[in-house]
Structure 1
Amino acid sequence: MRMKTLPAVIALLSAAAFVAPFAHAINAVALPADAPADRSFGKLEQVHAFYDAMPTGVTVSETGRIFVNFPRWGDNVPFTVGEIRDGKVVAYPNAAINKENPNDPSDGLISVQSVVADGQGRVWLLDTAAPGFADPKPRGAKLVAIDLASNKVVKRLVFPDNVMLPSTYVNDMRFDFRNGAEGTVYLTDSSLRGPGAIIVMDIASGRAMRRLSGVPATSVDPAFVPVVEGLPVMVEGADGKPKPLGVASDGIALSADGQTLYFTPLSSRHLYAVSTALLRDASVSEQQLAAAVQDLGEKGASDGMEADADGAVYAGDYEHNSIRKRLPDGQWQTLVHDPRLLWPDTLSIGPDGYLYFIANQLHRQAAFRGGQDQRQKPYSLLRLKIDAAPAPTR
């Protein structure tokens, strides 16, 4: 054998050795539909099915009335706040107020992101004045209180310029009537392109402070990549390249005694807490306040939180189609896990011992699915029995 043929012989022998073990074909069949699979648990009940615009928020009053909101993100939204009555959603408090007043942005409702019943006979509407996540219209972002007995507007608070940035997107709110002449409201700025923050507003005067602006606890976790239904939730960046969805401080909950505010960026899996007394105290510097924030560890990624009267905190886990509960001792338990629980958004505890929440498939919107809207109607208002009362506000 000539030496120049040796490499070819070695290659031939190696190939034969590799093929030999696979001389017999490997047969396979489609995985049976009844093969072991992810198990659901927890009893979900559907309260309402939405076949039109996508809802984001829900609240249940102390008398059991249910209100929902529809931000103007691109769907056809004839009214941005509604009440569920006799199986239908009707404009609330009326159709007229659900239209923008082009001459006075502080008047009509432009795009409501959140509705919260305060336990004191009113429901509050949080108007971002930022349809489609545009810059908020000047003097348009506001809180509107509706008296539930008369269904009339009894308070309108326009956010002052000192707390509003061009990137501000006011998202969720919690009320405490134990502090201030008419109470205090805490809100999240869940900006998509600027600093997140907690906004603290005195209801009587309308004065407000922007707190924890841009600190890590209110900001997008730079290492966070949300994964829902096995796919990363990506958006198009300024450079045209895909990047993970980044939303700042979003979910918020107030402890039963009013002394602790819980909050989380949407683009994070961590729960944070801070003293409300420090938040309200203008003499406490931002550095001091940031140092007082507690990182309570991972809870899952949430787009909505709530607290009950017994010291527990509830949070959606949109990556795992779940609702979770943090016990007073800090331990977490999963209350329900169900593949139909597609993006739990906003939580509210009713007077009937149920936890109510929206499942709206937010992650299937065209912006996150390469320009293709993959949402499937209906969207759902669901509930889960928790045998707990809402945290008191007074």
Structure 2
Amino acid sequence: MLPMEEYFGKLESIYAFYGAMPTGVTVSETGRIFICFPKWGDDVQFTVAEIVEGKLLPYPSMETNSVNDGNLKKSFISVQSVVADGKDTLWVVDTAAPNFSEPIKGAVKLAAVDLKTNQIRRVYTFHDDVVLPTSYLNDVRFDFRVGKVGYAYITDSAPNGPGAIIVVDLETGTAFRRLDGAHATSVDPYFLPKVEGKVLMNRSENGTVSPFTTSVDGIAISPDGKILFFCPLSSRQLYSISTEVLRDRAIPDQELQFHVEYWGEKGASDGMITDANGTVYAGDYENNSIRMIKPDGTMETIAHDPRILWPDTFSIGPDGYLYFIVNQLHRQAKYHYGKDLRQKPYSLLRMKINALPDYTM
């Protein structure tokens, strides 16, 4: 018998999805689990859900998940990310860009849902100089210790435009783009992803082929709120920047890139998360793996398993488990000349990491 590749990391299946493809997961401080389903072509009945007694229920209501042209601000159109902040709030990033179309004006939003009342408490929308026609808002992290009520940092992972980090003052709602089109937030032009042994490219039904290009996507924040980690989806590199510098609009954006720190090659990642000790967890979608990057920069692969078919969003629960979605994103029809190669179910997995979520933010 010939030697074979070794797999490791104890994974547990928490939920199997037989309907639409999920991207986001978050676990609240009380253990509630929320999922989101962006509208990428599947039959998405509701774009935000909660897993309750083994069933997916629209959250916070079916009405909120139904597009109301007369009240787009309170309608969830196509949600890419959900984040529970440990302070009784679920934050929802609505791209309002089904199938990566141009975002619907006035509908792109960051919404705060009160987990005690299950009602939308506040909605932040964005001006045209913040959300561009090419924008695709992706993931978000928070620090509630700065400003009067805190700041949010959102990645714009524009597939066909400039990547950026959008900074939001949660008191005033003022938002602005930072590192707009900078090297660290942009697609690596020399990056050629290989997943399941095959080169990943856009391959349309009409036979045209183009590179897989998605800008800054994964984002994580240090427990003290001082460092923001980020990475483009079309890249294997990890970067960080001081959040104080990021918020300081007196520093011109063209100078901001000189404040970016390079942490090295961590593998190609979609989602990232930080635990209470400052360790960053990141997926490696090329190698069916999960990696951790310690505060001193050392990296270790903690899971390598054939079931990790495109690790997407991460969340750390109060139970010391790392939860993550695997959704076979690379098997979608647009990468295979119109042929959908995904095999249901998609999965919500978890593994014990014996670390707690960063609820100090």
The TM-score range, normalised by the shorter chain, is over 0.9
Contact 1:105 1:137 in 2 (8 A): no
1:157-208, Cα deviation, whole Å (9 max, x unpaired): 1122221110000000001100121110000000010000000001111100
Matched with 2:140 is 173
Matched with 1:342 is 309
- Of 254, 276, 294, which aligns to 1:309? 276
Q: For 1:109, what is the secondary structure of its paired residue?
A: coil
| 1:31-180 equivalence runs, <5 A | 35-180=2-147
Inter-partner Cα distance in structure 2 for 1:288 and 1:341:
39
Deviation, 1:36, is: 2.5
Q: CA RMSD in A?
A: 1.2
Matched with 2:330 is 363
Inter-partner Cα distance in structure 2 for 1:393 and 1:252:
17
Amino acid at match of 1:57: G
Inter-partner Cα distance in structure 2 for 1:128 and 1:212:
20
Q: For 1:161, what is the secondary structure of its paired residue?
A: coil
Structure 1 unaligned segments of length 5 or more: list them: 1-33
Amino acid at match of 1:75: D
Contact 2:203 2:336 in 1 (8 A): no
Q: TM-score, normalised by structure 2?
A: 0.98
Deviation, 1:393, is: 4.0
1:336-369, Cα deviation, whole Å (9 max, x unpaired): 0001110000110110000000000000000011
Contact 1:118 1:393 in 2 (8 A): no
Contact 2:165 2:179 in 1 (8 A): yes
Inter-partner Cα distance in structure 2 for 1:175 and 1:276:
11
Amino acid at match of 1:246: T
Contact 2:207 2:337 in 1 (8 A): no
Matched with 1:17 is none
Inter-partner Cα distance in structure 2 for 1:160 and 1:356:
34
1:115-154, Cα deviation, whole Å (9 max, x unpaired): 0001111101110000000000001100111111111111
| 1:279-318 equivalence runs, <5 A | 279-318=246-285
Contact 1:127 1:143 in 2 (8 A): yes
Deviation, 1:253, is: 0.1
Amino acid at match of 1:360: N
User: Where do 4+ consecutive residues of structure 1 move more than 2 Å?
Assistant: none
| 1:180-219 equivalence runs, <5 A | 180-219=147-186
1:33-77, Cα deviation, whole Å (9 max, x unpaired): x64322110100011000000000000001110000000010000
Q: TM-score, normalised by structure 1?
A: 0.90
Contact 1:160 1:207 in 2 (8 A): no
Q: Which moved more, 1:102-111 or 1:275-284?
A: 102-111
Does 1:253 pair with 2:200?
no
> How many residue pairs were aligned?
360
Amino acid at match of 2:348: L
Structure (1/2) with the larger helix percentage: 1
Q: Which moved more, 1:377-386 or 1:154-163?
A: 154-163
Structure 2 unaligned segments of length 5 or more: list them: none
Inter-partner Cα distance in structure 2 for 1:159 and 1:119:
25
For the pair shown, the structure with the greater C-alpha radius of gyration is 1
Inter-partner Cα distance in structure 1 for 2:25 and 2:336:
26
- Of 184, 199, 210, which aligns to 1:243? 210
1:198-252, Cα deviation, whole Å (9 max, x unpaired): 0000111110010000011000000001110011111148x96412211000000
Matched with 1:230 is 197
